[in-house]
Amino acid sequence: MGLKQVREASGLRAWFGLVVVLGPVLLVSMDGSILFLAMPRISQALNPSADQALWVLDVYGFAVGSLLIAFGNIGDRYGRLRLLWVGATVFGLGSAGAAFASGPEVLIACRAVMGVAGATLLPSALALLSELFPDPRRRARAIGIFAAAFAAGFAVGPVVGGALLQRFEWGAVFLVNLPVIGLFLVFAPILLREVRTARAGRVDVLSVVLSAVGLLSVIYGLKHVATQGFSALAVGIGVVGVLVLAWFVRRQARLEHPLIEFALFRDRVFTVAIVTGVVPLAAWSAAAYLAGVYLQEVLGLSVLHAALLALPGAAVLTFTCVVTPMVVDRIGKRTALLGCHSTIAVGLLLLLPAGAGGGVGWYIASTVVAGVGYGISFSVVADTAVGAVPPERAGSAGAIAETGNELGNALGIALLGSLAALVFRLDGPGLAPTPAETFQLPALAAEAVDQAKNAFVSGLHVVAIAAASAHLVLALLTLRWLPRSARTGTDHVLPV
């Protein structure tokens, strides 16, 4: 075989390997959003409480976000392909368990297992691209495809979930993972090679525990107060969570090899980039989840109809994610970030005319306009964060950016979802803490139905205003903090 043939065979193997790697990547991102349209059906089948329904949605994102950096370090030491193979296996087992869960507690536990496994997949999959594509130009193209696939997974998750539920039971949204995992486990050992990095230090287990316990405790307290009202237990757990997170931050400052280098946040460009990774995903996840409930429970649309209505926004988001890197080279990251926050804010405010009597057109307009901003956010955050720090700290910057994305997705449901639940509890008929539970009550009066629908819409509006306000503040910070020619990450490859 000649040299040219060897190169062609190697290139073909690399692109087939990329396709194999993208399978788990799509699943990890898609499973962060696939339940948005499925929750009404799951609520009917398993009858979870209000806070259990929120945990079903976001325990996955919290597990991924809190363990992402730790598993990145573990993969460096013990091998990315090995960790990816184990993680994919556990992800498949967790998916199977979730599909046949007999109650909300079991479903929450299985979603947590899937989140832990998902935290092993993302950094390992990205790292393997460096072995598949040693040529910098091809590697950059592959990483662009990787980022677009990740964004597309978030965008199409609700659509896939809605399409599946039109013909199958709710467990199908988890069983769809199994064929992809099976194909990966078969072809990964053939097309991928092991990757290890000589990284100094070890994973600080206590830091991993502190970050996870602190975050989950704070969110538990907020959820409980929003859905059930104040109680000594909920407030106490929330306060303990804050103290644990403070301990975590102080510990990172003393460690030689911290999980998160908080010193990086002294750079304003880096800070804006990371916050831009968190807030848009928080707004997107909360709006997508609440809009799914609105379309089905308030307007009475079928799950397939709701899924089809989400397609225009998903298409715009994915297209924007693909073209943004080319546009940013001309307009600069500062202008791109301003466009990101402005379009998201306008898109969210377009939900305000939507009411209990109708609003499909406003919903579509909202997702299309905001989709432009979400696509920009997915595309520029990691590169802006990496470009804002010295090259030797690019790995830490990229890990924080990835973690921020995952936590943003979970925090949107936890915080903004809890805000909507609080409004419903205060303005609703007071018969049950969620619209789904309210509508399932026997002999429900028409007046109570109208009050419940109006209360939910009020919660949706409050969330839209709160999220839009956060983005307007970020737009002002971008104007104030980012120079007209912000440093870029063009000299760096995305961290692995």
127 or 314: whose pLDDT is higher?
Answer: 314
Q: With 90 as the cut, is the pLDDT of residue 197 above it?
A: no
Q: Which residue's structure tokens are 């946040």?
A: 265
Q: What is the pLDDT of residue 489?
A: 43
Fold equal for 1-202 and 265-496: yes
Beta bridge partners of residue 358, listed in sequence order:
355
CA distance 94 to 97: 5
Nearest Cα neighbor of 245 from 259, 257, 228 is 259
For domain 265-496, say whether CATH 2.40.110.10 is its number. no
pLDDT tens digits, 74-100 = 766 667 778 888 888 999 999 999 999
CB burial of 327-366 (b: ≥16 within 10 Å; e: otherwise) equals bbeeebbbbbbbbbbbbbbbbbbbbbebbbeebeeebbbb
Q: Give the Å distances, CA to CA, from 157 to 33, 173, 238, 266.
A: 5, 9, 31, 36
CATH of domain 1-202: 1.20.1250.20
Nearest Cα neighbor of 309 from 353, 364, 354 is 364
Q: What is the pLDDT of residue 211?
A: 81
Percentage of the residues of the chain whose pLDDT score is greater than 70: 84
The pLDDT confidence band at residue 146, using thresholds 50, 70 and 90, is confident
User: What is the pLDDT of the chain when averaged over all its residues?
Assistant: 80
492 or 143: whose pLDDT is higher?
Answer: 143
Instruction: Give the ranges where 332-439 is alpha helix by DSSP (H).
Output: 333-349, 360-387, 394-411, 417-427, 435-439
Q: What is the pLDDT of residue 493?
A: 37
CA distance 41 to 305: 14
Q: With 50 as the cut, is the pLDDT of residue 356 above it?
A: yes
Q: What is the pLDDT of residue 254?
A: 86
Sign of the torsion formed by the C-alpha atoms of 168, 308, 146 and 389: negative
Nearest Cα neighbor of 453 from 341, 297, 222 is 297
Nearest Cα neighbor of 452 from 290, 303, 302, 298 is 298
Q: What is the pLDDT of residue 157?
A: 82
pLDDT tens digits, 229-277 = 778 888 899 899 999 999 998 998 888 778 777 888 888 878 888 888 8
The pLDDT confidence band at residue 71, using thresholds 50, 70 and 90, is confident
Nearest Cα neighbor of 408 from 490, 288, 495 is 288
Domain ranges of the chain: 1-202, 204-258, 265-496
